[in-house]
Amino acid sequence: MERGLVHACAWIVKRDLLLLWRHRAEAANPVLFFFVIALIFPLSLGPEPQMLQSVGPGVIWIAALLATLLSLEAVFRSDLEDGSLEQLLLSPHPLTLLVMAKILSHWLTAGLPLLLLAPILGLQFGIAGYTLGVLLLTLILGTPALSLMGAIGVALTAGLRAAGILATLLLLPLYVPILIFATGATAAANRGLAWGPQLYMLGALLMLAITLAPLAAAAALRIRNS
Amino acid sequence: MQQLLAPKNFYLWSGRWLRPVAWATGLCTLTGLYWGLVVAPPDYLQGDSYRIMFVHVPSAWMSLFVYAVMAGAGAVALVWRIKVAEVVASASAPIGAAFTALALMTGSLWGKPMWGTWWVWDARLTSELLLLFLYLGYMALEQAIEDRRTATRAAAVLALVGAVDLPIIHYSVEWWHTLHQAPTVTRFGAPAIHGSMLAPLLVMALAFFGYYVSLLLVRARCELLERERTNPWVGEVCRGIP
Amino acid sequence: MGGYGFYVWSAYGVAAVVMLGLLGSSLAWHRRLTGQLRNKSRRSASAPPVALDKTGGDWP
């Protein structure tokens, strides 16, 4: 990779992180959302430890999914508003790689915090250590995939009215396989069954997403802003 | 063949073919209905309720076929910016969504007498439900963007992503289903089907296909008129000037 | 229909309603469109060509 491209990508990531830091309170929203969702479930389903332990991983994954969707809109929205999206499109560097940089910064600001806070929720649901480990592995593989595919959704809907809801509607069917294999792995781990294959599937989905999603998102951006 | 891709030519050509295709479809439908509802014998296990299969299975097949057409036309529209392709993709979406919804409703009506509940998280039905959301998402995205050409091209990207994801979704849902339930026999329209039932099924499938083609032509013509309304040929054609 | 009549006829009924309904609304769309576009085309064809006022006077 030529020096210019690396610098451009690094600059994108740094800028996004800086912008996030300046709006710290806003940045905390997805994280708080994550907790709230995970809190609502025991309140509505009841505090029985056995039941919570079995639904726990699924609930945490749903919370992660929703929190990610909430924060995804921000990936391109502010850029659209202040004109930096146009700059991205005019840049001599391949848009696909620039988009990858934006996705990386999204994951650093949304996925990574979820990853770090999931153990706390795990304790709340009484999830056993072993299962919790597997849950974290699924989140490590799954949250980047959520960010990658999410970028396609937000690129398609950037600037539209009700963009957030529309992107969610578009993305949910596409997210289903990730959800199925992630929760399948943790459910298997909980029962002492093999969880390797599910994790391999997640890894495969991640690889597919890394190769194709930035391309699709870049194409979507070009179409929307031609 | 290439001339057909010009909007005006496509409009006139499709106008000529619409009636014959529609008549053929009507004939096929009547034949299929009589064959399936009257001639075919009741099933050993399911009695007469299996006859729902003659609308359920063609709906399900068409829901997938139409998505493939939509994604294919979308790809052509993206790569070559051909207006006719854009129009075919756009016109197909509501038809495909209707087939999917139909597959779900008839599946539910078939399931109730068979399993006692209106809905089961069967792999096929769950996949169909997700397919419905893919269609609805496509239509919602197209509606939300103002410029029609941009809207169709953006939706085409979505359709292609969905097309890549569909087999993955289907496989993951099947895996999910076998994990959470005992492998019950929930295979509608399984290949091991008796000839006396397969024949009317194929006729109905052909009828549904003909219906799709007819409806596609009607809607595609409408879309073409709307998108090309500033073009002089539109006015001429509507006034009957060839 | 061997006791399953309700289910079978409901299934065929809903298929008929959906498919015929979609067909009907599509045909109505076409009729409406061609009507609109025909009228629009007639009006613009019969309307006198607009002369541009190049004299610099006030456009009424």
The pTM is what?
0.90
Task: Read off the tokens for A24.
Answer: 């710290």
CA distances from B85 to A181, B62, B163, B225 (A): 36, 19, 17, 14
Q: What is the pLDDT of residue A226?
A: 77
Q: What is the mean pLDDT of chain A?
A: 90
Mean pLDDT of C20-42: 92
Q: What is the pLDDT of residue B96?
A: 97
Residue A169, pLDDT above cutoff 60: yes
Q: What is the pLDDT of residue B154?
A: 96
Residue A170, pLDDT above cutoff 90: yes
**Beta-carbon separation of B49 and C27 below 8 A:** no
- Rounded Cα distance, B41 and B24, in Å: 26
Q: Least CB-CB distance to B113: which of C4, C23, C35? A: C4
Q: At what angle do helices A129-157 and A112-124 cross, to 10 degrees?
A: 140
Task: Read off the tokens for C36.
Answer: 């609109």
**Beta-carbon separation of B102 and C29 below 8 A:** no
Residue C48, pLDDT above cutoff 70: no
Q: In 3D, which of A213, A183, A47 has the Cα closest to residue B176?
A: A183
Q: Enumerate the residues of chain A whose CB falls inside 8 A of the CB of residue B173.
A: 176, 180
Q: Least CB-CB distance to B169: which of A169, A176, A226? A: A176
Query: Tell me: the pLDDT tens digits for B7-49?
Result: 989 999 999 999 999 999 999 999 999 988 888 888 877 788 8
Q: Enumerate the residues of chain B whose CB falls inside 8 A of the CB of residue A208.
A: 164
Query: Tell me: the pLDDT tens digits for A38-67?
Result: 889 889 998 899 899 989 999 999 999 999
Task: Give the whole-number percent of chain A exceeding pLDDT 70.
Answer: 99
Q: How far is B241 from chain C (nearest CA, A)?
A: 11
Task: Read off the tokens for B213.
Answer: 């083609």
Which chains have 3+ CB pairs within 8 A of A?
B
Mean pLDDT of A12-24: 86
**Beta-carbon separation of B157 and A219 below 8 A:** yes
ipTM score for this prediction = 0.90
DSSP per residue, B66-113: HHHHHHHHHHHHHHH--HHHHHHHHHHHHHHHHHHHHHHHHHHHHHHH
Residue entry with tokens 């009957």? B240
From first to last of its 242 residues, what are the pLDDT tens digits of chain B? 778 888 989 999 999 999 999 999 999 999 999 988 888 888 877 788 888 999 999 999 999 999 999 999 999 999 999 999 999 999 999 999 999 999 999 999 998 888 888 888 888 899 999 999 999 999 999 999 999 999 999 999 999 999 999 999 999 998 888 766 544 444 554 446 777 888 999 999 999 999 999 999 999 999 999 999 888 888 888 887 65
Task: Read off the tokens for B84.
Answer: 């006719």
Mean pLDDT of A160-177: 92
Query: Tell me: the pLDDT tens digits for A104-116?
Result: 999 998 899 999 9
Task: Read off the tokens for B155.
Answer: 């939706």
For residues A180 and C53, which has the higher predicted lDDT (pLDDT)?
A180
Band of residue A1 on the pLDDT scale cut at 50, 70, 90:
low
Domain coordinates in residue numbering, chain B: 51-238
Residue C55, pLDDT above cutoff 70: no
Task: Show the 3-state SS of B154-187.
Answer: HHHHHHHHHHHHHHHHHHHHHHHHHHHCCCCCCC
DSSP per residue, A182-209: HHHHHHHHHTT---HHHHHHHHHHHHHH
Task: Read off the tokens for A195.
Answer: 């969880």
List residues of chain B with CB under 8 Å from any CB of chain A: 78, 130-131, 133-134, 136-137, 140-141, 144-145, 150, 153-154, 157-158, 160-162, 164-165, 168-169, 171-173, 175-176, 179
Q: What is the pLDDT of residue C52?
A: 62
Q: What is the pLDDT of residue A201?
A: 95
